[in-house]
Amino acid sequence: MLTEVTATRYVTPLHQGGSVPGVFEADDLGTYVVKFTGSAQGRKALVAEVIVGELARALGLRFPELVLVRFDPAVADGEPHQEVRELHAASAGVNLGMDYLSGAQDLTPEVARVFPVEPLEAGRIVWLDALTVNVDRTVHSSNLVVWPTRGVAPPRLWLIDHGAALVFHHRWEGSDPAKAYDFRHHALGRYGPDVHAADAELAPKVTEELLRSVTAEVPDDWLADDPHFATPDEVREAYVTYLHARVRTSGAWLPTDFPGPDELAEENARRAARTRRGRPDWLKRVPDLHGKPAAAQDWSVHLGRSDP
């Protein structure tokens, strides 16, 4: 089962994304990015984080260790923003923590141009995202980081943030495990992902036994309010049934059509042109800052420290 720790010191909120996680130190001397049960995404996002994150780790992909974080809002009573204080107040109890990768750098399009990723590694990540229906790993929001960015070890690609995966659990009725999804704009499409080799390697490992061990990591309380099922164990079995059926039908959803860098650049240019044409005259004189890639996020600045 996931280790349980207690938050002892509030470091800072992370304002990127809609869930506003926070960085906390805990009584095991670890530092964690904590996602809250009271966030707008709800507990299903935390369920997805646990199932997909632990599945990734079991399949040999790099994903930070998860812990359960017991949180008392009084630990963060110095937070100045009212909406963040309200989030904390709604999240007393057990929340989800992810090991904090100090100094990690987002895999932005600029970083991707110079950071090498082997086709098989890219294929493994794309395959996992396709299996778990993760709709939030795109060229514009990769949810991938390079870490460490400085130090003796070579930098590696790490997965983060799977709250938008397992979209089928928002509407269980009518969900088709063989349904294909459009992964043309996956963040790793530019690397020529070898999804066929990844499928041959990973599909046999995703057994019912593995899926049951992964879903067992989810706390009962996070599963208890699903109206489709009577007990948390019934919810767990539904995840096992769906994902096991999906892995057996990979030929129907295995993504293979990825645009090259030139095609992506053309599509981005067309999108920017459409956006500008639709702007009012007075806005056309204002730089379109949203059309530019976001700067790489260096998490170490939030702690005021450098890489270990």
- pLDDT single digits (tens) 201-238: 999 999 999 999 999 999 999 999 889 999 999 999 99
pLDDT band at 295 (very low <50, low <70, confident <90, very high): very low
pLDDT score, position 281: 54
CA-CA distances (angstroms) from residue 259 to 4, 187, 218, 251, 272?
Answer: 43, 11, 37, 20, 18
What is the greatest pairwise CA distance in the chain? 60
* Rounded distance between C-alpha atoms, residue 251 and residue 274, angstroms: 36
* Rounded distance between C-alpha atoms, residue 124 and residue 203, angstroms: 10
* Rounded distance between C-alpha atoms, residue 302 and residue 9, angstroms: 14
pLDDT score, position 261: 67
* Rounded distance between C-alpha atoms, residue 243 and residue 237, angstroms: 10
pTM over 0.75: yes
DSSP secondary structure letters along 93-128: EEEEEEE--TT-EE--HHHHHHS---HHHHHHHHHH
Tens digits of per-residue pLDDT, 42-64?
A: 999 999 999 999 999 999 999 99
The whole-angstrom distance between residue 199's C-alpha and the CA centroid of its chain comes to 21
* Rounded distance between C-alpha atoms, residue 304 and residue 290, angstroms: 28
